[in-house]
Structure 1
């Protein structure tokens, strides 16, 4: 078995870089053939994953957060290699959706002794995504997170960003087409999910499954700031879906028309609306416990 580790050295305020010792200690005396490479700039994860596919690695491991995982996936979709994840970033939400342990040694055990599972992959703006894409409030929050996470990592970076964004945020007018059904309204946010979690542990799509062939869509209508304050804490346990302002759907293809609205995809801003989100026909192999 050949394993390629692609490490984002700045993920989780340097946590990913510190994991190198865990990997070496775990594998140095094993029969596994492995190599470690660090990313140095945005896009390196894609390039290194493509190279690992050509070099016929069996497992290509993203060591970092959801952004790192997203890049690695974009470099290996369509190959026979399996994705591995060592959670070491700010959010690690996709790893949570796959029940990959946060403990590094246990996550390494999943790579060595786990099983391959085929999962769905979404696409938007010409890029693949594995977890959650969104439009509206969330995209504005990501702009804040990108600044805050330089100083504070984990869930707190998202919580602080949420409240900073809330001060000046205005709902957006959208038209949403989901497998032919059309909705016109003002919304607080729209999340298009493959995984259950995003934003550092918020269960935005409690009914989502990474292998059911569908995207889960969560639409939160225009709400007051006071309502946001009461709704926000319920998202961590997926209880928000019971509120009258929240609608949930499943679809294979979602078109969102919201002039000039930014699009967040797996924690990164990737473009502007109008945009089409869809489940791809191809599957990705992932190592799970």
Structure 2
């Protein structure tokens, strides 16, 4: 088995590359592991590095540890997707680290790298699309526009945690809340005027949003929320409920649909803005399929914290 540490120097507090490399090297040497440290240089580079390592692995079992945030985990998973001899894990060093919150209070064990390198592998679901993949969440509409726009707010001093999302949300509400979409979920049409279309594999995103508290990344289905267009006066209330997982209080605006496959287009033919774990892609037609069997590295004994649906 070979352990490969994928470090994103831009994740979380900048300037941590040397620190993270030192932690990885120490854990590997103390356990006498065969290891390698890879450092990303630009967005998408992690996908390239992981895919190249997989192709050169010669059938050896490989474990990749995403040392960064959810975006780094996304790139590691995208690079490893479809490889039978590969597992991915998350050593959290980003600002959100949202996917591993499905493990509840046991999430803290992921911060101990030796616990991960000694850990086991659990099967997880993974979202495959025609414009990239997602481990945690996928969304189209104002939510994706918020994710695309929040980057400028992250550059502001002291603007951390959920605040870039809050500011970008306010900006995009002023720009307009709805678009006409053609939506097909598992062969059934759900066309409509929506503010956003959100698909949950995990539970948390955006530094504090938890719209589907009982989502389960091992249950073989996506939980899709179709959020109808709302007026600006109503938006704050609906967004507040959506953020806390209380969308059922507004059934006239938020419809929940289980899904295995999904296709989305804008009725005007323009490109969709798609959010994949915080990574942004543009496509005239989104095709998404839930896949099972991604190998995810967890500390021994850690399981997804189950919640009743």
1:85 correspondence with 2:90: yes
Output the CA distance in 2 between the equivalents of 1:207 and 1:273: 31
Give the drift of 1:43: 2.2
Identify the residue that residue 122 of structure 1 maps to in structure 2. 127
Identify the residue that residue 96 of structure 1 maps to in structure 2. 101
Give the drift of 1:110: 3.8
The answer to whether the Cα contact below 8 Å between 2:131 and 2:282 also exists between their aligned partners in 1 is no
Give the drift of 1:8: 0.6
Output the CA distance in 2 between the equivalents of 1:155 and 1:180: 36
Mean Cα displacement is larger for which, 13-22 or 140-149?
13-22
Q: Secondary structure at the match of 1:269?
A: strand
The answer to whether the Cα contact below 8 Å between 1:90 and 1:149 also exists between their aligned partners in 2 is no
1:287 correspondence with 2:297: yes
1:255 correspondence with 2:263: yes
1:189 correspondence with 2:175: no
* Residue segments in structure 2 that go unaligned for 5+ positions in a row: 303-309
Runs of 4+ with >6 A deviation = none
Output the CA distance in 2 between the equivalents of 1:150 and 1:57: 39
Mean Cα displacement is larger for which, 26-35 or 118-127?
26-35
Give the drift of 1:236: 3.8
Q: TM-score, normalised by structure 2?
A: 0.85
The answer to whether the Cα contact below 8 Å between 2:87 and 2:297 also exists between their aligned partners in 1 is yes
How many residue pairs are counted as aligned between the two chains?
A: 287
* Residue segments in structure 1 that go unaligned for 5+ positions in a row: none
Q: Secondary structure at the match of 1:196?
A: coil
1:246 correspondence with 2:257: no
The answer to whether the Cα contact below 8 Å between 1:154 and 1:200 also exists between their aligned partners in 2 is yes
Deviations 1:86-145 (A, max 9, x none): 122232221223556357643x24413332111111112242221111111012102211
Identify the residue that residue 169 of structure 1 maps to in structure 2. 176
The answer to whether the Cα contact below 8 Å between 1:66 and 1:92 also exists between their aligned partners in 2 is yes
The answer to whether the Cα contact below 8 Å between 1:125 and 1:271 also exists between their aligned partners in 2 is no
The answer to whether the Cα contact below 8 Å between 2:131 and 2:283 also exists between their aligned partners in 1 is no
